[in-house]
Amino acid sequence: MKIASWNINSVRLRAPIVLDFLNSHQPDVLCLQETKTPDEHFPHDAFKGTPYKHIHMHGMKGYNGVAILSKIPFTKQDIHHRACKEDCRHIAVTLEPKGYGKPVTIHNLYIPAGGDEPDRALNEKFDHKLNFVEELTDWFPKHHKKDEAVIAVGDFNIAPLEHDVWSHKQLLKVVSHTPIEVEKLTEMQKAMNWIDTARHFVPEDQKLYSWWSYRSKDWLASNRGRRLDHIWVTPILKENLKSHNIYTDPRGWDRPSDHVPIITEFSF
Contacts (Cβ under 8 Å, ≥6 apart) of 74: 54, 56, 93, 94, 95
Residue 202: phi and psi, rounded to 5, are -115, 120
> If we measure between CA atoms, which residue out of 49, 86, 95 comes closest to residue 68?
95
What is the CB neighbour count within 10 angstroms for residue 19?
Answer: 15
Angle 114-70-164 from CA coordinates, rounded to 5°: 35
Q: What's the pLDDT score for residue 4?
A: 98
Residue 141 belongs to domain spanning: 2-266
Assign residue 81 the CATH number of its domain: 3.60.10.10
Residue of 220, 232, 206 lying closest to 260 (CA atoms): 220
Give Cβ neighbours of residue 88 (< 8 Å, ≥ 6 apart). 58, 59, 60, 63, 64, 65, 66, 110
At 192 the three-state DSSP class reads helix
Q: 223 Cβ partners below 8 Å, 6+ apart? A: 166, 209, 212
Convert 43-55 into a string of H (helix), E (strand) and C (coil).
CHHHHCCCCCCEE
**What pLDDT is recorded for position 216?**
85
Give the Å distances, CA to CA, from 113 to 96, 160, 168, 175.
32, 14, 18, 8
Query: What is the domain count for the chain?
Result: 1
Please list the pLDDT of the chain residue by residue as tens digits (268 residues).
Answer: 999 999 999 999 999 999 999 999 999 999 999 999 999 999 999 999 999 999 999 999 999 999 999 999 999 999 999 999 999 999 999 999 999 999 999 999 999 999 999 999 999 999 999 999 999 999 999 999 989 999 999 999 999 999 999 999 999 999 999 999 999 999 999 999 999 999 999 999 999 999 999 998 899 999 999 999 999 999 999 999 999 999 999 999 999 999 999 999 999 9
Other CB atoms within 10 Å distance of the CB of residue 187: 14
Query: Of 103, 11, 110, which is closest to residue 52 (Cα–Cα)?
Result: 11
